[in-house]
Chains A and B, each alone.
Chain A
Amino acid sequence: MTKAVSTQAELVERSLKKRYRAEKRFKIAGIISISVGIAALFALFIEIFGNGIGGFSQTKIKLDIVLDSEELEIYDVNNEEEVSNGYYEGVIRLALRKKFPEVKSRGDRRKLYSMISDGASYRLRDLVMADTSLIGQTKTFWFLADDDFDTYFKTLLDGDPYTARVDEKQRAWVDQLIEEGNIEKGFNTAFFTSGDSSEPELAGILGAVIGSLLTLAITLALSFPIGVAAAIYLNEYAPKNRLTELIEVNIRNLAAVPSIIFGLLGLAIFINLFGMPRSVPTVGGLVLTLMTLPTIIMSSRAALEAVPPSIREAALGLGASKMQTILHHVLPLALPGMLTGAIIGMAQALGETAPLLMIGMVAFIVDVPSWFTDSATVLPVQIFLWSDSPERAFVEKTSAAIMVLLLFLIFMNTMAVLLRKKLERRW
């Protein structure tokens, strides 16, 4: 008997060692995979951050502009058309020529003029139109540098100048400007205050952000009420039969349909059949509604199911009608969960590109949209467009826009987490 026991103990001992080893391997495998995941995430962040941080700054050049009415060809300051048509480019060029008097040949001059962004003359015009008393005065302005100079100057500051797009002479001019303290790197407000542009230094994300907000507003306004109503009907009212089962299975399946399919559907229905315009937030919102509805319905149902049945019984037992039970007791308890689902759905919609390409929200749109029926693009599509642009300066813009998009997503997901916490604390 004792012998048998001891051998049994020995056997267990031996198998235990094996088990411990297996367990250890299992743990190590888990740790490795998590580390790889985190490392990948960090690499992504570092890459995007490293590239994108430059997008938030912009090179500016200081010029003393003589707003001479002769040069501007403005003789009557009260004639709005004349003021608007003034030759602002001319005074900027004059200022540049004055700064670099040694530049004489036509070709060199053109190169010199190209240092200042094309947007400068528009800015000058806007300023003068707002205050015509400026005409006749000499004023100092900081103008945006053209993107090639911007890239060169910023890389120069970082110690690794990118010289492919600037020649010897141009570099000398930059050096002179640096010496005089007439060139500097500042915060890139244009990035946040303007729409897309073919000139990188003028391109901003405001148009895309507003487009995204308009599109999301439509999506939220449609998908949340419809999704919640569908969830309430399916969960509380629908009879449990084959048909409702079929509907349920299909909703689940729809959630897994690739989003581009919804884009095709939107193209076929909203644009081709109903004749709605392309590239507008309304249609984008409709398409994204189709895409997010399954997610919202499913999370809303989960939230409804999580409401303890005892609460329903309590209300029904008191003589509350079904609708009163739902409106007074079930919905308030399920709402945080439903909102969480909606926010996650919105975050999904915010990051969605493919279905919007299908309905033409990929167009190059300079104006910032102001209404649901204005042509617009959205953040992820803007990122896609910029990443496709050849100008080097768009590389940092792309990453900067990704950072803004990520910021929005992180904000939304944090909201979702906070709401869920609140839900958990409830009971």
Chain B
Amino acid sequence: MIKMAEDVKDEQKMQSAEPSAAENDSAGPQDMSAKIQGTVGRPFVDDAKIKMRGVNVFYGEKQAVFAVDLDIKENEVISMIGPSGCGKSTFLRCINRMNDTIDICRVEGSIQLDGMDIYESKLDVVPLRARVGMVFQKPNPFPKSIYDNVAYGPKIHGLVSRKSDLDEVVESSLRRAGLWDEVKDRLDSPGTGLSGGQQQRLCIARTIAVSPEVILMDEPCSALDPIATAKIEELIAELSENFTIAIVTHSMQQAARVSHRTAYFHLGNLVEVNETDKVFTNPDHDLTEAYITGRFG
């Protein structure tokens, strides 16, 4: 196992040294002889909500994501899995341009949301992030009241004008996040005083209060216990009726439970995209199989 990790490291080194090799010839020694040649499976769909082509992401000189092509369909849940450090979060954060907040990060390629290029230079990220919301790995409610946490988005975007409308948005968002019954009597108490799972659901409520079209989730359950995780997974299934959801997860079971399609990343490459059932029962790529059978992770 240790040897395997070293191999992976070697491979990574090779790739960062010569990124062009990534697409066709990054063969590692021994078992890992499988080559990463583009993406196998079904990365494309007919009526894509989000269309990404040739996405490269660099941190300074170091490339973290290599020429990824991927479509995401409306109202689908797509999960992204892969070994730690393979660029899942980096890739996900391209979709709402959260990578802009990192000085050294540079994104190449095109990402279209409903046909609109979101990396166009004149595009304002504020409305984009109102359309593409995000839930983070660690629950990060504002150190304000539960009510203010949820009301913040609608307020800054001017979605409601009257207090009663705001109350309504807060209540419906909390209901949809499955948190209303637990917090309705203490909307004024601080959001940071909730349990971890409740905090994460509060963050989801906060995100959906803005009525985005797409919700990005970066390992939303990694800091939660199994019961809280189950609740969030249930919630994701419900939310998929109204939202397009892209979720990064380190748990294959979770990917299997919540998503329609699954994308497997390896060292910054998108190796395989397929129906979730297929990925976990009969993957097309050797690397995917190696990962889901636990040969590395």
A332 CB to nearest chain B CB (Å)? 8
Q: Smallest CB-CB separation from A313: which chain B residue?
A: B136
Give chain B residues whose Cβ lies under 8 Å from the Cβ of A320.
126, 152, 156
A66 CB to nearest chain B CB (Å)? 72
Report the separation of the CA atoms of residues A317 and B126 in the bound assembly, to the nearest whole angstrom: 9
Within 8 Å by CB of A319, from B130, B138, B141, lies B130
Give chain A residues whose Cβ lies under 8 Å from the Cβ of B103.
239-240
Confirm or deny: A311 has a beta carbon within 8 angstroms of a beta carbon on chain B. yes
- Count CB-based A-B contacts (< 8 Å): 63
Confirm or deny: A315 has a beta carbon within 8 angstroms of a beta carbon on chain B. yes
B103 CB to nearest chain A CB (Å)? 6
A426 CB to nearest chain B CB (Å)? 6
Give chain B residues whose Cβ lies under 8 Å from the Cβ of A420.
none
Report the separation of the CA atoms of residues A240 and B127 in the bound assembly, to the nearest whole angstrom: 27
Q: Mark A318-358, 1 if CB is under 8 A from B, else 0.
A: 11110010001100010000000000000000000000000
Does the CB pair A318–B133 fall under 8 Å?
yes
Does the CB pair A318–B143 fall under 8 Å?
no
Confirm or deny: A316 has a beta carbon within 8 angstroms of a beta carbon on chain B. yes
Q: Mark A237-263, 1 if CB is under 8 A from B, else 0.
A: 001100000000000000000000000
Does the CB pair B156–A317 fall under 8 Å?
no
Give chain A residues whose Cβ lies under 8 Å from the Cβ of B140.
308, 310-311, 313-314
Confirm or deny: A312 has a beta carbon within 8 angstroms of a beta carbon on chain B. yes
Q: Smallest CB-CB separation from A312: which chain B residue?
A: B101
Q: Smallest CB-CB separation from B97: which chain A residue?
A: A316
Confirm or deny: B210 has a beta carbon within 8 angstroms of a beta carbon on chain A. yes
Confirm or deny: A427 has a beta carbon within 8 angstroms of a beta carbon on chain B. yes
Q: Size range of the interface on A?
A: 20 to 34
Give chain A residues whose Cβ lies under 8 Å from the Cβ of B129.
316-319
Confirm or deny: B41 has a beta carbon within 8 angstroms of a beta carbon on chain A. no
Report the separation of the CA atoms of residues A369 and B190 in the bound assembly, to the nearest whole angstrom: 48
Confirm or deny: B44 has a beta carbon within 8 angstroms of a beta carbon on chain A. no
Confirm or deny: B110 has a beta carbon within 8 angstroms of a beta carbon on chain A. no
The majority secondary structure among interface residues of chain A is helix
Give chain A residues whose Cβ lies under 8 Å from the Cβ of B128.
319
Does the CB pair A310–B138 fall under 8 Å?
yes
Question: Which of B130, B133, B156, B203 gathers the greatest number of chain A CB atoms within 10 Å?
Answer: B156
Report the separation of the CA atoms of residues A310 and B134 in the bound assembly, to the nearest whole angstrom: 12
Question: Which of A239, A319, A426 gathers the greatest number of chain B CB atoms within 10 Å?
Answer: A319
Residues 96 to 118 of chain A near chain B (Cβ within 8 Å): none
Report the separation of the CA atoms of residues A272 and B150 in the bound assembly, to the nearest whole angstrom: 57
Within 8 Å by CB of B152, from A308, A318, A427, lies A318
Q: Mark B75-96, 1 if CB is under 8 A from A, else 0.
A: 0000000000000000000001
Residues 103 to 138 of chain B near chain A (Cβ within 8 Å): 103, 125-130, 133-134, 136, 138
Does the CB pair B206–A318 fall under 8 Å?
yes
Does the CB pair A324–B156 fall under 8 Å?
yes
Confirm or deny: B153 has a beta carbon within 8 angstroms of a beta carbon on chain A. yes
Q: Mark A400-427, 1 if CB is under 8 A from B, else 0.
A: 0000000000000000000000000011
Confirm or deny: B157 has a beta carbon within 8 angstroms of a beta carbon on chain A. yes
Give chain A residues whose Cβ lies under 8 Å from the Cβ of B138.
310
Does the CB pair A329–B142 fall under 8 Å?
yes
A247 CB to nearest chain B CB (Å)? 17
Does the CB pair A426–B143 fall under 8 Å?
yes
Question: Which of B126, B130, B136 gathers the greatest number of chain A CB atoms within 10 Å?
Answer: B126
Contact A310-B136, Cβ < 8 Å, known A317-B96, A328-B152: yes
Does the CB pair B206–A319 fall under 8 Å?
no
Report the separation of the CA atoms of residues A311 and B152 in the bound assembly, to the nearest whole angstrom: 13
A298 CB to nearest chain B CB (Å)? 22
B98 CB to nearest chain A CB (Å)? 6
Report the separation of the CA atoms of residues A324 and B129 in the bound assembly, to the nearest whole angstrom: 14
Residues 147 to 194 of chain B near chain A (Cβ within 8 Å): 152-153, 156-157, 192
Confirm or deny: B207 has a beta carbon within 8 angstroms of a beta carbon on chain A. yes
Does the CB pair A313–B156 fall under 8 Å?
no
B227 CB to nearest chain A CB (Å)? 23
Contact A319-B153, Cβ < 8 Å, known A313-B140, A427-B192: yes
B131 CB to nearest chain A CB (Å)? 8
Q: Could you name 5 residue pairs across A and B whose Cβ atoms are closer than 8 Å?
A: A313-B140, A314-B141, A314-B142, A315-B142, A318-B153
Residues of A in contact with B (beta carbons under 8 Å apart) = 239-240, 308, 310-321, 324, 328-329, 333, 426-427
Excluding A318-B210, A319-B125, 13 further A-B contacts by CB distance (< 8 Å) are A239-B103, A311-B142, A312-B101, A313-B98, A314-B136, A314-B203, A314-B206, A315-B152, A316-B98, A317-B207, A319-B126, A319-B130, A320-B126
Nearest first, the 9 closest Cβ-Cβ pairs linking A and B are A319-B129, A310-B140, A317-B134, A319-B130, A314-B140, A318-B153, A319-B126, A320-B156, A321-B126
